[in-house]
Structure 1
Amino acid sequence: MSIPIIDLAHLNSSNPADVRHIVNLIREAAMSSGFFYIKNHGVDPAIVERQFALAKKLFDLPDHVKQKYDQSHNFSHRGFEQIAAQKSDIYAKADLKEGFYCGKNYAEDDPFVLARYQNYGINQWPNEEVPETESYCQEYIALMNGLCEQIMQLLALSLDLPQDYFDESCINPMVTLRLLKYPPHPKDADENTFGAGAHTDWGSVTILAQDNLGGLEVCLPDGTWIEAKPIENTFVVNLGDLIPRWTNGLYNSNPHRVRNKYSEGQPRFSIPYFYGPSYLTVIEPLPGTLKQGEQAQYSVCTAGEHMEEMYRRTFDVKTEDLPVLTLA
């Protein structure tokens, strides 16, 4: 099994069969690995390359500047992430990556900001040191947001729901743009060392731009790990944990990890965009996903409750909080 490449060139075709073909491919991918590539997505490759150039410039800043904008200063984790600040897999070592987090700009008196909802915090822009940071990131966020809205509409159609079914939940979505830098994988690394440990994403959809070095690995439903190799002018799309919750397990959010071991000593850069519904959206089985007499696999929650719990687990994990493993 491989990760499919889905061509969006005919997304606006007047022929319903063209759109249905795309929808069917997404349904197949969602029911297997939860991963797929998209090409002819409408985003100018020059904008993506500009974002990678920005990432390199930001990570070249001296440590004292990064500390000035460190995510610890911000309740919503906006700003710079130090190496080993996150533990994606609680059974592995802390992640060997550094990052810069940002999101949509919100006013300080926005109700969601005042409520301190996760993903609605105030950004920390190093505009004094890298003046273009804010404008470049906000333009990229707007483009990714539009693409995620299209994917959510395609997911709705794939579930035999109206195309606009998710539109209301997308009015004020939870979004995070991350610029990531992975140092070369240590030559003496043990089996518990990763750039990002095995994990699933938390929201609805992730759109990933990766450089040409590789390193992303995806776990297939049978437990096999495969490389998600870079393909020019494509994005890697994967479904987050809210999609299985919404579809009662029909669609999958599969584990993935990163090991920068193919780059011949070069740092690896990637740019994931994480997209989820509005914080207060109730997540329960969608129409048609819960058969008569069948019980829901997941408890009902809001998207925000789910997101807060996931941040707590991966950024604030303590030894006493680790689950107990029962060995067979």
Structure 2
Amino acid sequence: MTFHVPTIDITPYVTDGSPEARADVARRIDEACRTVGFIQITGHGIPADVISGLTEAMDGFFALDLETKKTYRTPPSINRGYSPPKSESLSLSLGVEPASRMNDFFEAFNVGATHADYPDASDLPQPDYADNVWPDVARFEEGVRTYFGEAARVARAMTRIFADALGVDADFFAARTDHSLDVMRMNNYALPAGTDVRLDGDLIGMGEHTDYGIVTILWADQVHGLQVLGADGSWNDVQPADDALLVNLGDVTARWTNERWMSTLHRVKPPVIDGTIERRRSAAFFHDGNVDALIETLPSCVDADHPDLYDPITVGEHIRAKLDGSRAGKKNNNAERESARVLASSR
């Protein structure tokens, strides 16, 4: 079976589309979520100059020398700031031991929704809603904040589509995301000039993992590297189409839907051309849900042929176990179903 990531125009949900047009989009999204779990979306409405502002901000920061970038590090428990190369191992978030611990060579910078972004919510736990760290780079904060707001809008449009596709109340997701743990991770896949590249199988851009929350909105360069696990256990290359964003499901949605919709395993293998790494950039906006929202299987997704696969857990508990794996190096022992898929793949 040929692996294919469908392209879907979500304009009817971004503008005031007709009920018929929206129903067609919801039907196509349901089919894509049941069969692939990765989607290309067009019609998202993010202006080109906003994306340019984001990429200029990323380029400005990642061009700094390593020691300067390291001054923007935060402890592993605080999902903000800078992560140097080989300081994380995404496969540990699944409980899968990599060949070499903390060996993912990407570098990243994280920002997220803070307590100040939700003035009507009280007693939001820290460090889940920690303040951001803003580097001293021209127009960085402006460019990142503007894109963050646009990505948040697109993520909420996707959850409106999800509600229609799943046949739940229109405000199902809205009621569980009014103080959502939203984080954006800006990634840079490159090695310093002169680095010896060994093609011996242990060079990892970002290890295999599922995303943790409800939905991820991904902007990425049109450079090879991203690979998605197909239903047959094969890894497949995926590149963004022109003017498209990639969308994939996270674990929270897989749990709510009892795996009717699957959180898709993916990884980044660095493209090596003439013995050097071809630089690749991406920005992943993770729409994770309220820290106190309960992930409990939807009754419509349970029947005699589909028994409930998951015990209830809050979004906060689930995310902490995942982050302890990727950022702190603690093997996550609560991801048996996801890790089994990795171990069964043609690695």
TM-score surpassing 0.5?
yes
Q: What are structure 1's unaligned runs of at least 5 residues? A: none
1:159, CA displacement in angstroms? 0.7
Q: Measured at CA, do residues 301 and 146 of structure 1 come closer, stay the same or move farther in structure 2, by a change above 3 Å? A: same
One of 86, 94, 107 as aligned partner of 2:88: 86
Does the 8 A contact of 2:57 with 2:144 survive in 1?
no
1:210, CA displacement in angstroms? 0.5
Does the 8 A contact of 1:80 with 1:98 survive in 2?
yes
1:188 equivalent in structure 2: 198
SS of residue matched to 2:302? coil
Give matches, 1:202-221, under 5 Å: 202-221=212-231
1:39, CA displacement in angstroms? 0.5
2:271 equivalent in structure 1: 261
2:171 and 2:222 map into 1 onto residues whose CA distance is 35
Give matches, 1:269-308, under 5 Å: 269-291=281-303, 295-308=307-320
One of 13, 23, 33 as aligned partner of 2:26: 23
Letter in 1 for 2:104: D
2:82 and 2:205 map into 1 onto residues whose CA distance is 16
After superposition, give the CA deviation of every residue in 1:86-116 in whole Å (9 maximum; x if it has no partner). Answer: 1012324421100111112434998556x32
Q: Measured at CA, do residues 99 and 153 of structure 1 come closer, stay the same or move farther in structure 2, by a change above 3 Å? A: same
1:174 and 1:279 map into 2 onto residues whose CA distance is 6
- Kindly tell me the number of residue pairs found equivalent between the two proteins: 323
One of 144, 148, 152 as aligned partner of 1:145: 152
Percent identity for Structure 1 against Structure 2 = 26
Does the 8 A contact of 1:32 with 1:220 survive in 2?
no
1:125 equivalent in structure 2: 134
Letter in 1 for 2:43: N
1:40 equivalent in structure 2: 43
Q: Which has the higher contact order (CA 8 A, sep 6+)?
A: 2
1:249, CA displacement in angstroms? 1.4
Does the 8 A contact of 1:38 with 1:235 survive in 2?
yes
Q: What are structure 2's unaligned runs of at least 5 residues? A: 92-96
One of 34, 55, 62 as aligned partner of 1:52: 55
2:209 and 2:305 map into 1 onto residues whose CA distance is 32
RMSD: 2.8
SS of residue matched to 2:108? strand
1:312 equivalent in structure 2: 324
2:252 matches 1:245:
no
2:94 equivalent in structure 1: none
1:320 and 1:40 map into 2 onto residues whose CA distance is 37
Does the 8 A contact of 2:321 with 2:332 survive in 1?
no
1:168 equivalent in structure 2: 175
Q: Measured at CA, do residues 318 and 173 of structure 1 come closer, stay the same or move farther in structure 2, by a change above 3 Å? A: closer
2:110 equivalent in structure 1: 101
2:38 and 2:305 map into 1 onto residues whose CA distance is 31
Letter in 2 for 1:121: A
One of 42, 47, 64 as aligned partner of 1:61: 64
1:77, CA displacement in angstroms? 2.3
2:261 and 2:116 map into 1 onto residues whose CA distance is 36
1:247 and 1:321 map into 2 onto residues whose CA distance is 21
TM-score (structure 2 length as normaliser): 0.85
Q: Measured at CA, do residues 7 and 76 of structure 1 come closer, stay the same or move farther in structure 2, by a change above 3 Å? A: same
Letter in 2 for 1:69: Y
Does the 8 A contact of 1:92 with 1:197 survive in 2?
no
Letter in 2 for 1:270: S
1:20, CA displacement in angstroms? 1.1
Does the 8 A contact of 1:39 with 1:235 survive in 2?
yes
Letter in 1 for 2:33: A
